Each structure stands twice: as C-alpha cells, then as structure tokens.
Structure 1
Amino acid sequence: MTVELLEEHRDGVVTLALNRPEKRNALSIDLLSSIHEAVRRLSSDETVRVLVFSGGLDVFAAGGDITQLQGATPEEMFRRYEWQRYLWDSIESFPRPTIAMIAGLALGGGCELALCCDFRIVSPDAVIGLPETRIGVMPGAGGTQRLARLIGTSRAKEIIFLGETVPAEQALAYGLVNKVVEKTQLVAETQAFADRLARAASFPLQMAKVAINAGQDVPLPTALKIERLAFSNLFGSADHVEGVGAFLEKRKPDFKRSKQGG
C-alpha cells in the first residue's frame, strides 16, 4: 500500500511530501487526515524549526479529490469542511516557519494548502489558482479569505470569480509567491532558505508570526498591543539571552542550542 504522505527530517527542517502521483496529489480525506496528524505532532516537537510542504517536481496538488465530492449533501459538506478548518488553522498557526515548495499545479485545495504557509517558493512551470467556479462551486477551505488577505480583494475576486489560473511570474508580481527559481534549483533553493530560517532565533520568529497573524484582523491599536505583548514576552527567553550574550562577546549566536517552548 502506498504511503500518501512522506516525512523527512534534516537538521531541524521537516519536509512533508504529498505522495499520490497517480492522482496528481489530489487531497483525499485520508491524505488530509495524515497531514493533520503530522502537523499536530510536529507542532509540539521542539527539534522542528521549519516545516516544508512539497508535492515533488511534477505537481504540488491538483486540488481536492473530486471523486469524493460526488453526491455529497450540503450538510455532509459543511461537516466535512468544518473538520478541515482545524487542519488549515493548524498549518497557518504552526509555531515555526512554514514553506510551500511548488512545482506544477497548485489548484483548489492545493492552492489553499499553500496559502496557509508563510512562504511559497515555486518553479517557472508552477500554476496556482482556485478554479472551483468552473465546476459549479466555490473555494471552501479558506481560499476566499486567505487569498484576499494576501493579494487584495479585487485581485482575489478576479481569480476566484473567473476560475483563473495564475502562472509563476504573474503570481510573483501579484505577491502570491515569494520567489520563482529554476526547477533544477527548486529543492536546493528551498532547502537553503529553510536552513536560514532554521538558524534564526526560533522563539522570536514564533512571536513575530503570532503578532502578524493575529494583528491583521483587528484595529491597529489592538494590533500594536499584540505586538508589544509579543515583544515583551521575548525578554529573558533563552534566545534573548543567547543573542545578547553573543553580541557582547562579539561572536555569532547559536540559537539552535536555545531551549524553550518555541
């Protein structure tokens, strides 16, 4: 039996690789459950400093598994997607940085998975989109909300209403992805970026992520208070002690030896 989700650990960087090549990595219920279990487990593992999602070098994820949607009732779909929100929220709120490494198609649920990540690094053949309106539905796993927050309401409506797909360079211009790199360098570039993040101070990154994510949906005075609380929480942390000590001793900090709940 094929393992639909592969997991690789490398020096603090964990890669979760979707592995349904015969289905273009379509997100079945079983695959989504496996992702959810892995993300929950890894979120409490302090040795994990960066989480990467990959579909390999042919396709990221072509969408949800359409065969599992046929004949579903509104009540059934609401219950199913109400459960799925715990998965998407767990990725978005993962306590360390997350990266989607995208080659080929990232459509529908594949796009929504990528939108939950902090960063998206893609190859030139990457195609990203939310084409659900083409089959008479709409994005239901956060696509309408996360895409609009990332690239703006008007641009998101254009993509979603028309069911458009966005090629790599256009996605870069929209701010939908962070960088486009040649496919032959995609794995190496993603690993290099992940390694840079893994060497950084983990707890400050976690607090900055909390401040950014929590602050974007509240009034500015509340967002600034969230920032101040997150900022103040860092003082006396292991990363703060290591960073200040390294500065005073005129050496490079070694944040990997810092141990705390981040």
Structure 2
Amino acid sequence: MPPLRALIAPSLLRSSSAAAAPFLRRSGSRRGLIIQAISEPVRIERLPDSDSGIIELRLDRPEAKNAIGKEMLRGLQNAIERIGNDSSANVVVVSSLVPRIFCAGADLKERKLMNTSEVEQFVNSLRSTFSSLEALSVPTVAAIEGAALGGGLEMAISCDLRVCGEESTFSLPETGLAIIPGAGGTQRLPRIVGRSAAKELILTGRRINGKEALSMGLVNYCVPAGEAYNKALHIARDINQKGPLAIRMAKQAINKGMEVVMSSALAVEEECYKQLLDTEDRLEGLAAFAEKRKPRYLGI
C-alpha cells in the first residue's frame, strides 16, 4: 500500500509536532478532560477515551462578554494553528465558557484607541483568522448560547455547522456604527441564508432569535436554552465515529465544489474519492459491514 502522504492531498497533510506539546490535566465536570490554555481568553480542550479526536475551542473572557480584542485574536490564531497541526483532530466544537454569551463581537473600547491604520490591520487579521477557521480540514461545529453579535456571528458562520439555544440572539450591527461586517460577514452570510435575507440583516442590523435563525437556515439546530453544547457534542460524536480521512475529503469536496461550475465540481468529487480508494480505512469499513461490527478506523 502506498504511504499515506501519497494518498492525501497536500492541503490535508498535517504535522503532529505541535500536537505533541504537553497538555495540562484539569479536574472538572468531565472526567479526564485534557486542557491547554492557548491564551487566557482562548482554550483548547481535547476530549479523552471514546471522544478522542474531538477538540474543543472555548472562549473565556467574561469581563468583556468574549469581545475580540488583540489578546483574544492572538489566542484564536494560535488555537486554530495548533488544531490545524494536530493530526489526531477529527472534529472541533467552538463554544463559550461564559454563561449566556457566545461572543459580543469586536472590543469597541479597545478599537476606540486605535488609529485608522491599526483598525485596518486588526480587521484584516480577524478576516484572515476566520478564513483559517473555515479552512480547517476537519469539520467545525459552533455551539451558541446567548448573544453572537458582529464578529461573534462572523466567527460562527466561519464554522461548518451551528447549533444554538432558543434564547440566543444574532445580529450584524456594524452599519449602525457606520461600517460594514469586515471579517467575512458580507460574503459568508449570503452563502448561508441567501442574498435577500443577508442584505436585510446587514442593512438593518436587526437582531433575530434562535428560532428565526433556524427558520432562515442560519443555524442547523435550535434547542432549549442551555442545551446547545450538548447537541453540538452529540453531532461531533457522530462525526468522530466516521472514517476520519473520508470526513476530511467530504468537507474538501463540498467546499471546493461550491466554488466552481458543476462539471468542475464533479471532477473535484472524483479526485477526492480517488484519494480514499487505497486506504486501510476503506477496507476496514467494508470488513466491518460484512462482519456486522463497528469499524475501527485508524485514519490510514
């Protein structure tokens, strides 16, 4: 069998060197949870045992309602880079450790102290960071409770899937500040909810609740308040049980295929499928089906 490097697209190959850095154990509500503080407001948690492969990216800046300032931006950049370099990652859950808030958007108190050049640089960096989140080869699931405003909503729509509590609120209020959503909001939102609905939300800055977000397709699920994390974890567990190489290829095929015409998109699908044909995981899937047992995928 050819080596894995010959089978997987270069964009999906990840060095495990960053993942080898030590993780710190934390006693808490989940037994055996392994946590790495990337920076004070951003944490990575790797779940253990049967949940191995699920990585949590958690926001923790309660004094500012998880508003994104320079320190949090650096934390997000480092966390996304670390996840991208972790070959053991299969799926990421993005959530908040702050009750009743996902992310309030940009830190406007900090923004007020920036000059024009600094603002431009910060927004460009934030746009690039959310693009890196979107470009992760593994699926990402946002678990949203409370407010996801401005840059917070732009972060959420950079994820592949979104789950919210029914008391959550969503808004892109930037036009009320005489600016526009500048971290990808004007481009990603229309691709998710459609052009007309996106224009209405952006031009008016109107807030919507979880049920309305579900009705327009902004979120995949709206669950009772306080249950968004559990639902997101349930989805992550479903994904985590599937062939990890197939999950990466499926995401790549969808994302790249959506950018081109159908004939070219089918060629993208063909290439992604081809890269899975000689993998041990594919043979394991067939064997497990024939033997009526749960497959044991190794990502090779």
Q: Indicate the TM-score class for this superposition, using the shorter chain for normalisation.
A: over 0.9
Q: What stretches of structure 1 of length at least 5 have no aligned partner? A: none
Alignment length (residue pairs): 257
Give the distance between the partners of 2:258 and 2:119, measured in 1 at CA: 29
Q: Which moved more, 1:59-68 or 1:231-240?
A: 231-240
Q: Larger % of helix: which?
A: 1
User: Does 2:77 align with 1:36?
Assistant: yes
Q: Tell me, yes or no, if the aligned pair for 2:43 and 2:79 is still in contact at 8 Å.
A: no
**How far did residue 203 of structure 1 move?**
1.0
Letter in 2 for 1:259: G
Match of 1:18 in 2: 59
User: Does 2:124 align with 1:82?
Assistant: yes
Letter in 1 for 2:54: V
Q: Out of 178, 195, 218, which is 2:237 matched to?
A: 195
Alignment of structure 1 residues 125-136 onto 2, 5 Å: 125-136=167-178
**How far did residue 72 of structure 1 move?**
4.0
SS in 2 for 1:183: coil
Give the distance between the partners of 2:234 and 2:194, measured in 1 at CA: 30
Give the distance between the partners of 1:82 and 1:25, measured in 2 at CA: 19
Give the distance between the partners of 1:156 and 1:186, measured in 2 at CA: 24
Match of 1:205 in 2: 247
Match of 2:299 in 1: 259
Match of 2:43 in 1: 6
Match of 2:68 in 1: 27
- TM-score scaled to structure 1, two decimals? 0.92
User: Does 2:243 align with 1:243?
Assistant: no
Give the distance between the partners of 1:155 and 1:185, measured in 2 at CA: 27
Letter in 1 for 2:256: A
Q: Tell me, yes or no, if the aligned pair for 2:127 and 2:182 is still in contact at 8 Å.
A: no
Give the distance between the partners of 2:114 and 2:75, measured in 1 at CA: 22
SS in 2 for 1:60: strand
Give the distance between the partners of 1:130 and 1:33, measured in 2 at CA: 23
Provide, for residues 52-107 of structure 1, a one-character-per-residue CA deviation record: whole Å limited to 9, x for no partner: 11113310001111122225454433333333333112110111110110000001
- TM-score scaled to structure 2, two decimals? 0.81
Q: Out of 170, 182, 198, which is 2:224 matched to?
A: 182
Q: What stretches of structure 2 of length at least 5 have no aligned partner? A: 1-38
Query: What is the aligned-residue RMSD (CA, Å)?
Result: 1.6
Give the distance between the partners of 1:16 and 1:206, measured in 2 at CA: 19
Provide, for residues 205-248 of structure 1, a one-character-per-residue CA deviation record: whole Å limited to 9, x for no partner: 11111111112222221111111111111111232122122123
Alignment of structure 1 residues 91-170 onto 2, 5 Å: 91-170=133-212
